[in-house]
Chain A
Amino acid sequence: MFKELNPLLHSELRLAVMSILIGVEEADFVYLREQTHATAGNLSVQIDKLQKAGYISVEKGFKGRMPRTVCRITDCGRDAFTEYVDALSGYIGR
């Protein structure tokens, strides 16, 4: 019996954002955009969805005079990611 894949993580861009944040302490919006090659608008929408689900925390601030949005994965997000990877391994027969 296959476990159901978390629909929130089972989308290319949201999964890419979570995969980046799982390996780092924090990353800003510009870094996430560089790494995912997403448009600012699309990335912003997906970050908002992950934040609303409690998977990431978002801190808006300034670096000098430039606005900066810093994202961090939460414990809830870490658990969801681990569950998602466990469920995936069932699908690919590990």
Chain B
Amino acid sequence: MEQNQLTARQSIDLIARTINNTRRHIEQGVYKHFLIWGYLTTVISLTIWALARSTGNMAVMWLWFALPVTGGGLVLLTCRTPRDHGYVRTDIDRAISHVWLVLSMACLVASVSSYFIGLPILFIVILLMFSGTAITGLIIRSRILSTAGFTGLALSVQLFFVHGIDQCLVFAAIFLLAMVVPGHMLRHRANKNR
């Protein structure tokens, strides 16, 4: 892009095009988070269900704590900007990361508390995580994400129809449907726009 003089119309077009490109750039990386957390939660839920069913030992519940550790590590490894790529941070990035920080802290407090007092922890986790998904979708104006968030919230009541360790199956199914599937849809769209 050289240092050309512009007409008024060209200036307006340039401003609009640049702002749109920046917005598209923000949306592109979001799908990775949803695929990582969606798949990981599904796999760990099913592993816990299978181990609890086969061994009858409820100590396998401690495996839930592998979720934040593994997920956090994978996000750090796969979602950071490569060195030779440009770095940009927007107000939207900051708002979204703060929303998820608060919700993750609430999730952690609820999970630890559930070991001491009887809490419907899987229900609480779904409410918190899919509230985050819906809020993210509304902030970045992504219909896929906001629909996924509200779908997850609506499906959360299914947990009340299943009892005991089988709740893990419903939990996994909700994450698969409302986090992994939208993650793939976002990925497909991001690849198409690239």
Contact = CB atoms under 8 A, between A and B. Distances in A.
B83 A24 contact: no
Contacts of B59: none
Interface string A10-38: 11111110011011111111111111111
Contacts of B83: 63-64, 66
Interface in B1-47: 1-6, 8-12, 14-15, 18-19, 21-23, 25
B18 A19 contact: yes
Contact of A46 (B3, B85, B86): B3
B15 A85 contact: yes
22 contacts: A5-B8, A10-B11, A11-B4, A12-B1, A12-B3, A13-B2, A23-B23, A24-B90, A25-B89, A25-B93, A25-B94, A26-B89, A28-B87, A31-B85, A31-B87, A31-B88, A34-B85, A35-B25, A36-B1, A37-B1, A63-B83, A88-B12
Interface of A: 5, 10-16, 19-20, 22-38, 42, 46, 63-64, 66, 68, 70, 84-85, 88, 91-92
The 6 A-B pairs at the shortest CB distance, nearest first, are namely A31-B86, A91-B8, A19-B18, A30-B86, A27-B88, A28-B87
